[in-house]
Structure 1
Amino acid sequence: MFHQVSSLLLVLVLVLAWSGSAQPVDSMAELKQVRVALEELKAERRVMSDRLDTAEQEMKRIRETPKVAFAASLGGNGLVKTTSGNKDLLFTDVMTNVGGAYSPATGEFTAPIRGVYYVRFTANAPSSFPMSAVLYKNSYSIQLIAHEQPSGEGSDTASNGATLLLEQGDTLKMVLWQNTQIWDNSNHHSTFSGFLLFSMEDRPPTEGAEDQLKTFQASLKQLQAENSGIRERLEATEQELKAAREVPKVAFAVSLGGSGLQKTTSGRRTLVYKDVLTNIGQAYNPETGEFTAPVRGVYYVRFTANAPSDFPMSSVLYKNGASIQLIAHEQPSGEGSDTASNGATLLLEQGDTLKMELWQNTQIWDNSNHHSTFSGFLLFSM
């Protein structure tokens, strides 16, 4: 349509130039047609400008929202304990730190923008002494706590997590309360992680991109060139926006299912979670128990293990069959049952696999009520 209108206008201009003033009636009619065509071009330009402004504003918002995700464990090899005052916990073993908002030197996460963040933590310790892990905002406001009283022999694991609205510059850190303890080693029993869910920044109202044309005497060729330029920018921006929206949707949640105990006394065993609750994107395979990352990106992964407390319990997350990422582990503590969970944001390459394993001389239990679960989702692509 655009080229047809342009050709028509050029023909009309040539006719006007040739006819001169000898045919005033025809000239006035042709001039009216030119005016109508120019108004159509202006209208087309306004529509494209509005679409372009909307698309560019959305792309600007997408580009300016930072990617923020972190996961860290206490690491070390043993117990952290305090009997005189509270103690800041430094999670120095960093697994993920996209955006660099977590400082392993201070143990603090600093919100880079105003937004809603998801934060979680897991604490593990021998059950012979009180255990704690307390989340503080700006060093004084208690947000969440995991706390266990002594319960005899064995170990305890406790987790907590929530979505928090943070202002730009707000800090989060974990604190060990007086007369409590926490434990970790290189297998990541005690962890601290979080990510930006969405921004809540106030944005000033945007002005329209349309510069209203003042007169119809503007050059026809110039207007055509401007329309062509807007069209090219519009197509490029809408293509980029389409690509941003086409990041695959990936989320899974599964449980061991069955009705009873899984136990191994000779070597470790892959846990196959056959009871599929969610599998958007089909990245989890219930036949092998493996999740395969379809794209490079940051994924949030968590798991929960349950078992009778008369025998050691384990649930261990492996990447690519070799590297231990996270663990939930409990020592025997007498009668009853134990539940432990862990989770973190992990940067995975396309094709990386995650699976859960049961360590030698440990057990795990589930039934149709989904006590022992494994789940995750793609937070953002990289």
Structure 2
Amino acid sequence: MMNFTIVLSMLLYCSLILAQDDVNVPETERTSETQSCFPDMCEFLKEFGAIKEKQTVMETRLKDSETRLKDSETRLMDSETRLTDSETRLKESENQILELKSKEKTVVVFSAAAGGSGHIGPFNTDTTVVYKVVKTNIGNAYSQFTGTFAAPVPGIYYFTFFYHAGGSQRVSLTLIKNNESVVTTYDHTTSHDGADNGGNAVFLQLQQGDQVYVRLGANTHVWGDNFITTFSGFLVSQV
């Protein structure tokens, strides 16, 4: 547009010059000059108009190309976003598969007996029963030195504990989780009952590191020989 304005201004300027020159030019010369000048000017204007039209067409094509380029960039960005989302979902799926495989491979089972000979207790205070004879300890979560089970993974666990004892003294065994009583088995003293047997069981949801053990109540006892007083547990399912 600016180029067209400049050319138009030049044409007007030239016309003014020619008009001024015509004042002192004879009529015959003026007619001759006009005939020689105006055809050139008309041809120039035609060429300029054609160039301007081509320029307009090129500008239109350029705008169309820019629009198509922007559309292509937008589609490319959308494709990249979808690709990123797909990669994220793929990683999440892989992590879930790995987690499921890890859960399938995690096996925790233990079973132990008090062992020894004769009775365990009575003691003046509550005492943790140490089941020294380990029958099974897959996962090594039970310690035969402390009598404590420590959960290696979070999940649902099942525990059982049984005892055999003489009837002449009281029996009190309590399953403890992190110093809190969970379930108890108990029997009182009888003069006519020579032996007692009992036990209890429970499902517990544990976090990794939670501790579970069996506590013998103060002034009570159980028998430890012949593997008749036991403590067992296993992982049911990880959570």
**Residues 261, 365 of structure 1: 8 Å contact kept:** yes
Identity among equivalent pairs (%): 35
RMSD: 2.4
TM-score by length of 2: 0.59
Instruction: Tell me which residue corresponds to 2:215.
Output: 357
For the residues of structure 2 that align with 1:332 and 1:319, how far apart are their CA atoms? Answer: 27
Matched, 1:241 2:97: yes
The CA deviation string for residues 159-213 of structure 1, in whole angstroms up to 9 with x for no partner, is xxxxxxxxxxxxxxxxxxxxxxxxxxxxxxxxxxxxxxxxxxxxxxxxxxxxxxx
2:187 to 327, 330, 344: 330
Larger radius of gyration: 2
Q: How many residues align?
A: 155
Pairing of 1:7-18 with structure 2 (within 5 A): none
Instruction: Tell me which residue corresponds to 2:126.
Output: 268
By percentage of residues, which structure has more strand?
A: 1
Matched, 1:374 2:220: no
For the residues of structure 2 that align with 1:314 and 1:374, how far apart are their CA atoms? Answer: 14
Instruction: Give 3-state SS (helix, strand or coil) of 1:249's partner.
Output: coil
Supply the AA of the counterpart residue of 2:185: A
For the residues of structure 2 that align with 1:238 and 1:335, how far apart are their CA atoms? Answer: 61
Matched, 1:255 2:113: yes
Instruction: Tell me which residue corresponds to 1:311.
Output: 169
Instruction: Tell me which residue corresponds to 1:298.
Output: 156
Supply the AA of the counterpart residue of 1:295: V
For the residues of structure 1 that align with 2:88 and 2:206, how far apart are their CA atoms? Answer: 36
Is the alpha carbon distance of 1:232 and 1:296 closer, same or farther for their aligned partners in structure 2, counting shifts above 3 Å? closer
Instruction: Give 3-state SS (helix, strand or coil) of 2:121's partner.
Output: strand
For the residues of structure 1 that align with 2:148 and 2:185, how far apart are their CA atoms? Answer: 18
For the residues of structure 2 that align with 1:263 and 1:278, how far apart are their CA atoms? Answer: 25
TM-score by length of 1: 0.38
Is the alpha carbon distance of 1:323 and 1:360 closer, same or farther for their aligned partners in structure 2, counting shifts above 3 Å? same
Supply the AA of the counterpart residue of 1:260: G
Report the alpha carbon displacement of residue 290 of structure 1 after superposing the two structures with TM.
Answer: 0.4
Report the alpha carbon displacement of residue 366 of structure 1 after superposing the two structures with TM.
Answer: 2.2
By percentage of residues, which structure has more helix?
A: 2
| Superposed structure 1 runs of 4+ greater than 3 Å apart | 229-239
Instruction: Tell me which residue corresponds to 1:113.
Output: none
For the residues of structure 2 that align with 1:265 and 1:349, how far apart are their CA atoms? Answer: 32
The CA deviation string for residues 346-379 of structure 1, in whole angstroms up to 9 with x for no partner, is 11121111111111111000223x2111111111
Instruction: Give 3-state SS (helix, strand or coil) of 1:266's partner.
Output: coil
Is the alpha carbon distance of 1:288 and 1:310 closer, same or farther for their aligned partners in structure 2, counting shifts above 3 Å? same
Which structure would you say has the larger RCO, counting Cα contacts within 8 Å and 6 or more residues apart? 2
**Residues 305, 314 of structure 1: 8 Å contact kept:** no
